[in-house]
Amino acid sequence: MNPASATPALRIRDLNAFYGESHVLHGVNLEVAEGEVVTLLGRNGSGRTSTLKSILGLVGRRTGSIQVGGKETVGMAPHRIARLGIGIGYCPEERGIFASLSTEENLLLLPRIGATGMPESEIYAMFPNLEERRKSQGTRLSGGEQQMLAMARILRAGARLLLLDEITEGLAPVIVQGLGRVVRQLKERGYTIVLVEQNFRFAAPLADRHFLLEHGKVVDVIEAAQLAGRMDSLQEFLGV
């Protein structure tokens, strides 16, 4: 596929976003082609999570342009945005598992949004723990299992553009490795993924490109190939 001619999966131009009076994004520009994996990097408060929330219409007010599969979403109701383009799936930072629903209910809750959802057999092959814990209440799951469930339910719904916010946060290394394998599998299958990630060592080998955010805008873009040469300035930028 030639990314220059195809409609990008996601195209953000001069995005400003507000929560009430506070102005959190100041002109974000970014573009993600179908099948790409990108990360949003930056310190806390740089606007990474707000960028994801803006795409879904979960901030107070947005100006500028956010196109999903070529369709403008600024001004659109959130439940319509999810169904646009190749279908958007969102893993919020706090995972968003519904406490009053069982694991299975959480998994099956989301309406179909993409052309085809991932069949349950494949979901359970990818996340075997979830099958064992089917009947458990959603929030009785371990942190890692909750994260798997948060991923699994958007895959089942058929989303092909995945917005993943800090999926490795607070998880044991072995589980982080497992999630890394899952993201790689999804990439191989052509999913489009936007990762917000504090754990740079997790994100670096997975992504095609890295968007660097500071003070609510994208200040730099690093291609995967340039990464090795720019590690020093990147480390300084992230303050690690």
Token pair for 155: 């895959």
Minimum gap (Å) between residue 162 Cβ and another protein: 13
Place of tokens 């690093």: 222
DSSP state of 118: P
What is the C-alpha separation between 158 and 163, in angstroms, rounded? 13
- Told to check if 151 binds another protein by CB under 8 A, we report no
In terms of CB distance, is 101 or 221 closer to another protein?
Answer: 101
Q: Exactly one of 12, 81, 123, 193 binds another protein (CB under 8 A); which one?
A: 81
Per CB under 8 A, does 101 bind another protein? Answer: yes
Is 57 a binding residue for another protein by CB under 8 A? The answer is yes
Q: How far apart are CA 161 and CA 159, in angstroms?
A: 6
Of 90 and 237, which CB lies nearer to another protein in the complex structure?
A: 90
Establish if 82 lies at the interface with another protein (CB under 8 A): yes
CA 113 to chain CA mean position, Å:
16
Told to check if 225 binds another protein by CB under 8 A, we report no
Q: What is the DSSP string of 164-232?
A: EESTTTT--HHHHHHHHHHHHHHHHTT-EEEEE-S-HHHHTTT-SEEEEEETTEEEEEEEGGGTGGGHH
- Does 78 participate in binding another protein (rule CB under 8 A)? yes
Q: Does 108 bind another protein (CB under 8 A)?
A: yes
Options 45, 70, 111, 119; binder of another protein; rule CB under 8 A: 111
Tokens representing 179 are 């999630």
Least Cβ distance, residue 89 to another protein (angstroms): 8
The residues of the shown chain that bind another protein, judged by CB under 8 A, are: 56-58, 77-79, 81-83, 90, 92, 96, 98-101, 105, 108-111, 113, 154, 157
